[in-house]
Amino acid sequence: MPITANRDKVRLMVGDTSSSDPILTDDEVDYFLTYRTVLTPTGGTASVNVAAAAADAAGAIAAEYARQFDFSEDGQSFSRAQRVGHYMMLERELRSRSGAVAVPISGTT
């Protein structure tokens, strides 16, 4: 079955495809899609930059994992830093494919 819904496209691009345990909520994905929707000057039709929305989603996932911490227990180590790095790299890749730029968070450079 072809993937036609923009929400599903974003989820596929960031690897958030588990319906039983999603990383982002539908509302969060929809927010990124709405943020990356522009109306064309003629006709008022909407155009969505799905790759830019996916880059925003990857950045949000990286930020969520960055809040978690690495730890060791019973001789095992659990590292979240690897996930943060993966999603940051994915965000950069998707952003370059989208032609969009990152929007800095207020108070940062």
Residues linked to residue 47 through DSSP beta bridges, in sequence order: 38
- Is 19 within a domain? yes
- Is 34 within a domain? yes
Per the prediction, the chain carries an average pLDDT of: 87
- Is 1 within a domain? no
Give the model confidence (pLDDT) of 18-31 as tens digits.
999 999 999 999 99
Boundaries of domain holding 86? 6-98
For the residues of the chain, what is the DSSP string, one character each?
Answer: -----HHHHHHHHHT---TTS-SS-HHHHHHHHHHTEEE-TTTT-EEE-HHHHHHHHHHHHHHHHHTS--EEETTEEE-SHHHHHHHHHHHHHHHHHHT----PPTT--
- Is 10 within a domain? yes
Rounded Cα distance, 80 and 66, in Å? 7
pTM surpassing 0.85?
Answer: no
Half-sphere exposure of 74 (CA within 13 A, CB side): 0
Give the model confidence (pLDDT) of 28-66 as tens digits.
999 999 999 988 777 678 889 999 999 999 999 999 998
How many domains would you assign to the chain?
A: 1
- Is 109 within a domain? no
